[in-house]
Structure 1
Amino acid sequence: MNQGEFDIVIVGGGLVGASLALALAGQWRVALLERALPPLPAALPQDWDNRIFAISPGSQAFLAGLGAWPPLRAGCIREMDVRGDAGGSIHFDALELASEQLAATVENRGLQALLWQALQGRVELLAPASLHAVQFDADHVSLTLADGASIQARLAVAADGAYSWLREQAGIAFARQPYEQQGVVANFSCQRPHGDIARQWFGHDGILAWLPLPGNRISMVWSTGNQHATELLGMAPELLAARVAAAGGHGLGVLAPLCPAAGFPLSLGRAERSIGRRLALVGDAAHTVHPLAGQGVNLGFGDARVLADLLNAKPGRDPGDAMLLQSYARSRAEEVLLMQTVCDGLQKLFASTDPVLGCVRNMGLQLTDALGPLKRTLMRQAFR
């Protein structure tokens, strides 16, 4: 079989893997492997993807530098209104950071298609393609595809998700702590304008978030226990819309479904290390977080940006050099650990039925909202 030789091979062509490939395309010979067919944008205006991401300003700047921003349709989060389960609340406004927005909301499919369009002719795109075997040697990585073809690279990057095949083949353990919850997602049209305000409720049945989409539309993420999630997913679309509207106090009036609901299991995940022999892990292959802060994909874009910056700084250097990979691991460790700790702590705090903790968490929201400098510090960390 024909054998291709590359500097870097990236396994996984989702948002993080595709952005990394694009960031490296000008300096390196890059191959991008993806199991699925290349993504396509929405065929019809009313066709909405139920996977919506809140993209931070920093991630937007990274994508813009790659020529992959903005997508054709994106929502804007200018404010965020968070309510506790016993009267506590906190409000974030982009004006407090002298910014036009806290984040932008985009469809996974639309942004992925934009990235892949930008990659055409710049990297070797192998899709659909499945891997059969991999071997990590001293000076290169050899990958065998399911069709028998093989490729070699000096560095492999695992961007193939939380259940990464490449990470597993490298023998890197992944500690997964299930939350016994699912994230139920769906999109709705609203009777009343959302005002570019993201709304979030911490309640006894989980964490409900409404994210503004273009026009009078919202994306819903309900992080809730498995039994309740199964109930929600079993509802007819119109009944689910009514349940979601009621859970949010009918703040946007009547909701109407735009797409089928979907659910995905939630867990805290940590790879024992983010690098291996001629291997780097990025995105969910390296870490997963609870979606309550909407930071999972932004952490992944941070991985891609840092790794690309390190590699592109010295294009003549061996991209699989152990010291370079160690520098990448050190550079990402603090931010990832901080975000995982904060999200996990908030999830456990609001999941507790202890009445004392109930008072503490709601008082904490109120106190943080009243302390301007502290709140702005939190905002800079979450929305940078």
Structure 2
Amino acid sequence: MAATTGRHQGRHHADVIVVGGGMVGAATAVALAQEDLEVALIEREPSAPLGGDDPFDLRVSALAPASIALLDRLGAWPGIRAERAALYRRMRVFDTAGPGDLTFDAAEVGRPYLGYIVENRRVQLALWKQLREFGNVECFTGSQPQRLEAGERDVTLTLADGRELRADLVIGADGQRSWVREAAGIGAASRDYPVAAQILSVETAYPQQDITWQRFTPDGPQAFLPLAGHRGSLVWYDAPERIRARHALSPEALGEAAMAAFPDELGEITRVAGQAWFPIRRMHAHRYWADRVLLVGDAAHSIHPLAGQGANLGFADVEALADIVREMGDRGLGDARLARAYERRRRADNQLVQSLMDGFDWGYRRVDPLTVATRTAATQLVAGVPPLRRWMTRMAGGSRLGS
């Protein structure tokens, strides 16, 4: 892989330009490089290499089997799995306002696991390592896109340092506040949730667990994600003003606050190794494409992170796009039929998951007797009907309707 980093004038040609080198963007670049396309990847600040003893990344993802299968096909999964990936076989969901309590077990549907909790940065680095194996990928770092011009035969992307790139297609994988989406004139519907998310990387008295759990409270969910060793990631949803106040606490005081608020299943926190917080926004682009432009991942859609499906939806976008490129052969990346096929294949699934997450968020924040009774009855129904519970277990493991 060639890396171009200096400030200079120059014109470069590729089949496709991918803007954004995070997990989804890097996966997109690898997947299209595997299809023998000339790929240009733009990422202003690539991640620095990590060692085995580096602090755990605060940003972690729960990868479902379908995402793991994609990463394996891209050649990245063996390296990710070897680098502190934590397998989980069970997922528990319970409620503070009622007796609802459900546990989904991979063994019940004949699977070895429901997923793995992985550090986002390690996924990204494993994919960048794969990019170096391709002679048809060029990485442009140290700058950012400044101008996008779509023509009849190609699209031109100019970087802030004057470098000019031409291609048949530009793919925006540059996150929720996508520059590509705005430059292409694609609107989006968005709204902020009333809660924010606080992430705590903690060391625990318990050894590595094979269960992830989420307790719903009127103030928002509290989640535990197992990490390798005596480690875990806590996700604490709450009103932004309360999170800001906790953010100012010392690590010791923050650990005590978490143990007081979280259920006994958490056990003792021996150390808070790191913390961060962020607001939560729902966003869905009005379209996934414009002239010679496509959107993938958070550039096209972002959801409430309570079920950890954001990364999985992004990887599903990558897989669908690569499949369509393969199916269409040499009919052209800039062909609107490719863009329409991609949106048809992905929009409904993304919309469904967004709506489900909104429903969970709305339903579990309500504490009126009727809603609590309805939640309890629904939980008892799922727990008492094995086929329904198995279907829900497959959904918890990342399956979708019709799969």
Per the TM superposition, whether the score is higher than 0.5 is yes
State the Cα distance separating 1:121 from its structure 2 match. 4.9
Give distance in 2, aligned partners of 1:46 and 1:172.
39
Residue range with higher mean Cα deviation, 53-62 or 71-80: 71-80
Q: How does 1:127-142 map to 2 (within 5 A)?
A: 127-142=141-156
Q: Does residue 1:11 correspond to 2:22, yes or no?
A: no
State how 1:20-169 maps to structure 2 within 5 Å: 20-26=28-34, 27-36=36-45, 38-43=46-51, 45-70=53-78, 71=80, 72-85=83-96, 86-122=98-134, 123-169=137-183
On the 8 A contact 2:203/2:273 being kept in 1, the answer is no
| Structure 1 contact 188–255 (Cα < 8 Å) conserved | yes
Partners in 2 of 1:382 and 1:331 — Cα distance?
A: 21
Q: How does 1:164-203 map to 2 (within 5 A)?
A: 164-203=178-217
TM superposition shift of 1:44? 5.4
Tell me the C-alpha RMSD between the 2 structures.
1.5
Amino acid of the residue matched to residue 186 of structure 1? Answer: L
Q: CA deviation at 1:166?
A: 0.6
> What is the aligned length?
383
Q: Which whole-Å CA distance do the structure 2 matches of 1:142 and 1:354 have between them?
A: 56
Task: State the distance in 2 between where 1:7 and 1:273 align.
Answer: 22
Distance 1:274 1:191, change over 3 A: same
Distance across 1 between alignment mates of 2:335 and 2:271: 50
- Give how far 1:356 is off: 1.7
The normalised TM-score by structure 1 is 0.96
Amino acid paired to 1:35 = R
Task: Please state how far the C-alpha of 1:67 moved relative to its aligned partner.
Answer: 0.5
Q: 1:205, 1:228 within 8 Å by CA — same for their partners in 2? A: no
Separation in structure 2 between the aligned mates of residue 104 and residue 233 of structure 1, nearest angstrom: 28
The whole-number CA distance in structure 2 between the counterparts of 1:65 and 1:204 is 41
C-alpha displacement of 1:258: 4.8
Instruction: Tell me how far apart the structure 2 counterparts of residues 75 and 299 of structure 1 sit (CA, whole Å).
Output: 20
Deviation at 1:234, TM superposition (A): 1.9
Deviates more, 1:193-202 or 1:343-352: 193-202
SS at match of 2:265: coil
- Among 372, 375, 381, the alignment partner of 1:367 is 381
> Is 1:332 the counterpart of 2:341 in the alignment?
no
Rounded to whole Å, the distance in 2 between the matches of 1:322 and 1:348 is 38
**Which whole-Å CA distance do the structure 2 matches of 1:180 and 1:226 have between them?**
8
Measure how far apart 1:156 and its partner are: 0.5
Instruction: Verify the 8 A CA contact 2:255 2:272 in the aligned structure 1.
Output: no
Q: Distance in 2 between matches of 1:362 and 1:210?
A: 22
Q: 1:339 to 1:262 in 2, by over 3 A?
A: same
The letter of the residue matching 2:44 is R
**Is 1:349 aligned with 2:357?**
no
Among 257, 260, 265, the residue aligned to 2:271: 257
Whether the 8 Å contact between 2:208 and 2:228 is mirrored in structure 1 is no
| CA–CA distance in structure 2, aligned partners of residues 199 and 121 of structure 1 | 38
Following the alignment from structure 2 to structure 1, what is the Cα–Cα distance between the partners of residues 212 and 259? 14
Shift of 1:31: 0.5
Q: How far 1:146 moved relative to its partner? A: 0.4
**Preserved CA contact (<8 Å) 1:49 1:259:** no
Does 2:246 match 1:232? yes
Conserved in 2, the CA contact under 8 Å of 1:188 and 1:218? yes
Asked if the contact 2:252/2:272 (under 8 Å) is kept, the reply is no
Amino acid at match of 1:58: A
Query: Aligned-pair distance for 1:227?
Result: 1.8
- 1:242·1:254 contact (CA, 8 Å) conserved in 2? no
Structure 2: give runs of 5+ residues left out of the alignment: 1-8
Matched, 1:358 2:372: yes
Alpha-carbon distance in structure 2 between the residues aligned to 1:41 and 1:91: 37
| Counterpart residue number, 1:223 | 237
Per-residue deviation, residues 269-313 of structure 1 (Å, max 9, x unmatched): 110011111111100011011111110000000000100111133
1:273 is matched with 287
**Normalized against structure 2, the TM-score is what?**
0.92
Aligned residues with identical type, % of pairs: 38
SS in 1 for 2:330: coil
2:322 pairs, out of 284, 305, 308, with: 308
The residue type paired with residue 199 of structure 1 is W
Deviation at 1:378, TM superposition (A): 2.1
**Do 1:186 and 1:220's aligned partners in 2 also have CA atoms closer than 8 Å?**
yes
Contact preservation (8 Å) 2:199, 2:277: yes
Are 1:90 and 1:369, in contact at CA under 8 Å, matched by a contact in 2?
yes
The answer to whether 1:377 aligns with 2:386 is no
